[in-house]
Amino acid sequence: MGEFHLAQANITTGLWEFDHWRMRGFTRRVDPINELAQQSPGFVWRPTSDQMTQDMLELGRDPMLEAFNLSVWESVEALWDFTFHGVHLEAVQRKAKWFDQETALDVMWWVPKGHRPTTEEGLAKLELVRENGPTPEGFNFRKRFPAPGLP
């Protein structure tokens, strides 16, 4: 992708707070899935879970109810391969057990190599997609846009 990497963020609201027994199926998967992501081909970076939790609190969000994730990948294909295979795919297929599907939102956008997006940046990109649908500034798997400078 030349001089760019792919940033992604997603958010959804739990049906219960994350310390509720009904959320154990989700919470038990979080660390193993994050570790798997970090070992996956094409993975570049993600903030720590503690950092994202602290950021959410500082932004007035509820990290015990909102599942927010942010990461950077080499390409859309690398993110696709991680998202729709193995343990992560199993969690995606079960998400209706744990989350309000009406609140699920995801976004991808191109960032210069070396850029580390912030939680605030990810939340702003999610809001952009919520308001405008997919655009070159924020898109999803269903409607993708190439990295700047590519046809």
| Residue 89, pLDDT score | 67
- The closest alpha carbon to 140, from 104, 97, 98, 113, belongs to 104
- List of the chain residues with pLDDT < 70: 1, 88-89, 151
Element at 24 (helix H, strand E): helix 24-39
Q: How far apart are the first and last CA of the chain?
A: 11
Identify any residues that bridge with 45 across adjacent strands, giving them in sequence order: 72
CA distance 86 to 68: 21
DSSP letter string over 101-126?
A: EEEEEEEEEEEETT----HHHHHHHH
Question: Which residue is listed with tokens 């991680």?
Answer: 82
- Computed over every residue of the chain, the mean pLDDT equals 92
| Residue 51, pLDDT score | 95
CA distance 92 to 79: 14
Digit-coded pLDDT (tens) for 101-129: 899 999 999 999 999 999 999 999 999 99
Q: Where are the domains of the chain?
A: 10-107
Sequence-distant (≥ 6) Cβ neighbours of residue 86 within 8 angstroms: 36
